Structure 1
Amino acid sequence: MTPDQIPQLIAQIALADARVRREDPTEQRAQVLMWAGILADVPLDYAVRAVQKHYAKSTWPILPADIATQWAAAVRDRMSRDVDPAPPVDPDDEAAYRAHLTAHRRAVATGQEPPVEHHALTAGPAAAEAERRRAAIGKYIPIAVDDALSAHRPQRAARLAVLREGRPDALAVPCPVETCRAAVGAACTRPGKGQTRHRLAGPHPSRTDYAAERAA
């Protein structure tokens, strides 16, 4: 609330409790500034409802802290139920992504938008659309993040390098080599002693050829 809105709130409170309103002009100005500072983040309509809720149960004069505490609890509840959905923008556009995410969080915190809860994404009319988007996006990781993690995930880095160069992705198909038979996404291996297997530095050539055939 702004300082201009505080007198409206105090007038509403005075209808139920005249003890809250100050009569001295100097005290009135000080009261407005004090309440405005404490309730700066609280919307006027919410504050009025908090006042009504307070006097429905109590005969004690309400304090601005009573309203601010209720508002903070309401914000925590909304934010805890919000799943923070991915913004409908290009994830590689970091500025737009952050701006949309910040705007969504602010809108939920201030009550301008309802929380996007988990069940809203996995049930009801939005379920089919959510599943379609999830399938289209897949396990997306921004390019910059992938590059930063490349030293720690050499196999994925090598696979991404192949894709960026336009070469066939051997790991997108199972390995046809009889002694390997690696599944899709798994690295090729060769038999070791006993039941052990050794991972190869790259895919079997026949697996690369098979991937090229499938891509064609």
Structure 2
Amino acid sequence: MDPEQVPQLIAQIALADPRVKRDDPNERRAQIIMWAPILAEVPYDYAVRAVQKHYAKSTWPVLPADIATQWAATVRDRMQRDVDPAPPVDPDDEAAYREQLAAHRRAVATGQQPPVEHHALSAGPAAAEADRRRAAIGKYIPIAVDDALAAYRPQRAARLAVLREGRPDALAVPCPVETCRAAAGTGCTRPGKGQTRHRLAAPHPSRVDYAAERAA
């Protein structure tokens, strides 16, 4: 928040709580000087919402620390949910890589874009795009990188582990289980409520046996 926005915020607060606004010009100037650095990192719109949230639960006058504390908790929650994905630039270009990484973190912290959460890396368009890029790069990505991503992409990690051990890849064949019928390359699922389906952590045993028969 810019220092020039602080008087506007205080005026907005005074509409709900006149106790906050100072009548004496010197006190009003001192109040702005005190509030401005405390709220320097807080976007104006967020500060307004934080004030509304405060007065929805409390009759005490709001303090700048109340707003700053809410903002810090929001930023902390966003950053904890974000997996800090690798930027879509050449990793050998260190300057561009760092710049894109910092820009992503700023955007998530300030709410300009949502966090990229763990599940987004293992399913959906993000995973498909990651697979496309890996296929285009080929063997450039070392095994250590695959291992580092294992926690975020458990299904792929399990499949790679099977291949490294020389066992048949169950996902290379369609699932023969009547209630699943997963296509080759996709994980097994089980029926849920209504039309929903739940992804399984491992392939159906029948699919594993089928893959072994095909391999033999």
TM over 0.5: yes
Q: CA deviation at 1:40?
A: 0.3
What is the DSSP-based 3-state SS (H/G/I as helix, E as strand, rest coil) of the residue aligned with 2:57?
A: coil
Deviations 1:103-142 (A, max 9, x none): 111111111111111212222233322222244456736x
What is the DSSP-based 3-state SS (H/G/I as helix, E as strand, rest coil) of the residue aligned with 2:3?
A: coil
1:1-216 matched pairs, under 5 angstroms: 1-137=1-137, 140=141
Identity over aligned residues, as a percent? 81
Q: How many residues align?
A: 142
Q: For 2:108 and 2:83, locate their aligned partners in 1 and report how far apart those are by CA, in whole Å.
A: 11
Does the aligned pair in 2 maintain the 1:82–1:116 contact within 8 Å? yes
Q: For 2:86 and 2:37, locate their aligned partners in 1 and report how far apart those are by CA, in whole Å.
A: 34
Letter of the structure 1 residue corresponding to residue 141 of structure 2 = Y
Q: For 1:101 and 1:126, locate their aligned partners in 2 and report how far apart those are by CA, in whole Å.
A: 17
Q: For 1:46 and 1:113, locate their aligned partners in 2 and report how far apart those are by CA, in whole Å.
A: 15
Does the aligned pair in 1 maintain the 2:75–2:110 contact within 8 Å? yes
**What corresponds to 1:200 in structure 2?**
none
Letter of the structure 1 residue corresponding to residue 16 of structure 2 = A
Does the aligned pair in 2 maintain the 1:122–1:130 contact within 8 Å? no
Gaps of 5+ in 1: 142-182, 184-216
Letter of the structure 2 residue corresponding to residue 85 of structure 1 = P
Q: For 1:135 and 1:95, locate their aligned partners in 2 and report how far apart those are by CA, in whole Å.
A: 25
Q: For 2:135 and 2:74, locate their aligned partners in 1 and report how far apart those are by CA, in whole Å.
A: 34
Letter of the structure 1 residue corresponding to residue 8 of structure 2 = Q
Q: For 2:134 and 2:70, locate their aligned partners in 1 and report how far apart those are by CA, in whole Å.
A: 37
**What corresponds to 2:159 in structure 1?**
none
